[in-house]
Amino acid sequence: MPVRANAKGPGEFVRDHLQEPQVGGRDYVGSMFQAYKTHLRGAGYSRFPCRLSFGKLVWLLKETGALVFDEAEPVAFGLDDPEALPAAYDPSCGMPAPRHYYKMVDPQNPAFMSPEAVWRQMRGLGPPVVVRRPAARVAPIAPPPVAVIPVAPAAPVAAPKRARAKAPTPAAAPAPALPKRPRTKVGALQHEADVFRGRIEAMRGKPEATAFLQLEEDMLEFFDRVLDTATSSRGKNREILMALAEAQEAASPGFELAVEAIENDDVGAFNRALDHLLKCCD
């Protein structure tokens, strides 16, 4: 909170305000904030600090020992007889209380003049870092425009044309025939099962962890999609897909045997695990 040039600073005002006879040596934050705004308004200022920054100032004065919590008003809760707060009430405990009263401990405490600096010094933080505003960029002065004298272009000289013999255009190669895609969902899933069989056969005799883990992830995702499609199918398609989805449980031992074979670098056990996975894709 900046210090006013023609008025008291907020910490200095709190100190003098609590020493006034009509205040009685204690006051709550809202009353001190309103009194400080009246003080600034009398000094000719039209812009005031916010309530949150003034509450932070009181908190800093309390943390540095310049102020202490005195008591809180009883909680009314809309009733005629207010409920008394406990004797060991702490303002930071979260209990509702309309007003927290604070009283001054030592008027000579330097925290009233610079509360944040004293608070940082007590915690060994040093002075706050001042971030300066970067200097305004000055646009470079553009050089004066240079007069350009137009020059008539020279007449183009036509180059002699040479007759070029055209090479015969080769006949276009026929486009490769694309594999037929299955028209139904069941056919598409069966086609994916055939692709997995080819991938499993390609791994035979090559126990590589990275390729097999990717195969395992793809097959598990494939079995999930088969089960989702089977739940929305009817008739013979449902029977085919449910049989294919049940193969997921049978494939689990094959995955475990293959991982164990890769760790032991056992090619024979790895091939037997692949044979087990091939039966699950049938």
Distance of alpha carbon 73 from alpha carbon 111, whole angstroms: 27
Q: Nearest 5°: CA angle at 108, between 38 and 119?
A: 85
Is 55 a residue whose pLDDT tops 70? yes
pLDDT tens-digit readout, 109-158? 888 898 888 888 888 887 777 777 787 777 778 788 877 777 777 777 77
Residue 3 has pLDDT above 50, yes or no: no
Cβ pair 257, 273 in contact under 8 A: yes
Q: What is the dihedral of CA 272, 278, 279, 282, to 10 degrees?
A: -170
In sequence order, the 6+-apart residues with CB closer than 8 A to the CB of 61 are 11, 14, 67, 102, 111, 112, 115
Task: Output 118 or 211, whichever has higher pLDDT.
Answer: 118
| Neighbouring residues of 110: CB distance < 8 A, sequence distance ≥ 6 | 118
